[in-house]
Structure 1
């Protein structure tokens, strides 16, 4: 979105502007960024991108709280639904440790 706000409508144009600032991006990497897949960006690349787009790193990020919520593990149903106490931890008996190699 920031690129479009700056009048950059094609990934090739963005690649040229980044190259002019000293950052060479492969066509494949730029294509994945442009397609909207979650990018992998190094911090030094982020500085150049922000310079070209005249923005801050926070201006490039869009919060997606629904995706964060979807990644949270769901609570497992406990045996005792009335009491949400954590499961009891019991020690193991015997010799739980192995011997070190000779």
Structure 2
């Protein structure tokens, strides 16, 4: 996802994160300046839905204006392969079991 808070703010002639604070407070959203700066400077890891609603109300935009879907990354022209367990040959069969380093000999059990 692409985070477009700066673009949505620029449409309202807001150019700095500190200018967002009074706009947010007008709709009852009172984040700290550091939180606003984090939202402004990059793509947030998570945003609460009620915060997202308040941001949209403050900027007069929709969620689609703030979040834009990006295509999935393709590695070397191929889709990424699903992860497999170490030693999995990809063939159907029983579960993959590790082998011992002593030529397949089983170890004895420890004493009770």
How does 1:74-89 map onto structure 2 within 5 Å?
A: 74-75=81-82, 79=89, 86-89=91-94
How does 1:1-102 map onto structure 2 within 5 Å?
A: 1-67=7-73, 69=74, 73-75=80-82, 79=89, 86-90=91-95
- What TM-score results when the alignment is normalised by the length of structure 2? 0.60
Distance 1:76 1:41 in 2: 29
Gaps of 5+ in 1: 80-84, 93-102
> Which has the larger helix fraction?
1
Count how many residue pairs are aligned between Structure 1 and Structure 2. 85
- What TM-score results when the alignment is normalised by the length of structure 1? 0.65
Distance 1:20 1:56 in 2: 17
Q: Which runs of 4+ in 1 moved over 3 A?
A: 75-79
Gaps of 5+ in 2: 1-6, 98-112
Q: Which has the larger radius of gyration?
A: 2
